Structure 1
Amino acid sequence: MPNLSARRVVTAVAIAASAALALPATASAAPAPAPTPKVSEATLQSLGAFVPAIIGSAATPGPDGKVNADLMANAKTLAADSGLPPDLAKIWDRVISFLEGTGGGGPAIPTGPGAPVIQQFLYPTLGNGCIPGGNSVGTALATAGPQQAPAPGPARGEAGFVYTSLGTGPALNNKEAPLTVAWVNIDTGKTGQQSLQRNEKINVAEGPGTFTTIAKTGKGRVISAIYGNVTTKTEGKVVSCTIIPTVGLMNI
């Protein structure tokens, strides 16, 4: 049976995400090696109403051990609301398919010889005040082991989590204000949370700030939330900022 305290932790993350997503923000990012994703402030704010249900439906299974049927029914009602922004409606449909296990909703997985199994989180997010005079766009992804990324590489039954704060300098570790991932394996009920750290093999010279961790999730469908604080050395100064939480769905 899933650990009750761990469930409470993940549900608390959902509530924190709801509060954080209600904060106003203006997207702004310095040039980065890769194109900066477009971030809709309206979509991020709308997600604040649904993140608790996303995590809660996974963290509170029904009597049969599967995703709670009542919560799923509520999720479908929300998805059918014609007033949802188009971007949010698509995200919500993916979440429902993923949680139901109906063969859809999971992220696209690269193919071909040696292609890493990279699974992007549902939406890019924002770090408030992460760069001088503005906010940083943040992107998150997960990798399913066994593979080499992120170094030293997740083993079978493990997930590697990567968060990049675009436009910032190199990542710094901050024990007092960490960047955290909380996750639930909805097929086994296993849960956990841990900090993402500076990775000495990724973007340590000039940035952008990149944080990683490897979690022993076990095989199955995993839903996760990355939240907390990003700390970097940007333009010669130590900068710490809070990100709007982002949610990921992955197959491990």
Structure 2
Amino acid sequence: MTSVQGTPVDIATADGVADAYLARPDDGLPHPGVLLYQDAFGLRPHLRSMADRLAGEGYTVLVPNVFYRHGRSPVFDLPEFIDTDARPDLWSAIGPVMQSLTPELAMRDAGAYLAFLAESPYVTEGPVALTGYCMGARLAVLTAGTYPDRVAAAAGFHGGRLATDAPDSPHRVAAHITAELYFGHADEDPSMPPEQIRLLADTLTEAGVRHHGEVYPGAHHGYTQADTAAYHHEATERHWAALLDLLKRTF
């Protein structure tokens, strides 16, 4: 695996400055760009380590703090090991911040993140890939539909509420998506039940979107996050294999 350099960066947006983490191969050369969207707990050491692992495979990876309007990361006072059953109070802090990030605001920010990658000397020319976790899976789908000319592939892992009857449900942007999509759904995830998985797949198929979705048995919502109680090692390694396969096909 390639040696990696990780640095904090700031990204100017229409509403302020988003702090972010940029990981890239330590060779000074441009590499395909990947925008990594966080889960609800935010930009923290574990997400930086995920970005480093991707960078070690030959990609330049940007992880923005999508909650930057509420402060620089870490936005929340998180324990080293996150167990929301033991700390239910965490959701009282995180919930309102999540809800304040409307699709409109998130997609305005996405334009700034994509522009940062397009202008970076460490990113090759052309469209980039996305990968998102939990709420980040929603952002990945919305970004693919909002900026189709900038996104070549997008993956979502243990995403919830991707295909609901809400007017801003992510699946509703399917007609605009030109990227190839991959989803690794959690088997034990009430926020993404079988009927939503079916609706998402049917909508993408009807729109002619190249896509593939799998349900990871025994995995819970948040299974890739090793610093949480939801972590599932086998599902996480399956996620890495699927994500890297998608990126290799794309670039």
TM-score above 0.5, yes or no? no
Higher strand share: 1
After TM superposition, the score normalised by the length of structure 1 is 0.29
After TM superposition, the score normalised by the length of structure 2 is 0.29
Higher helix share: 2
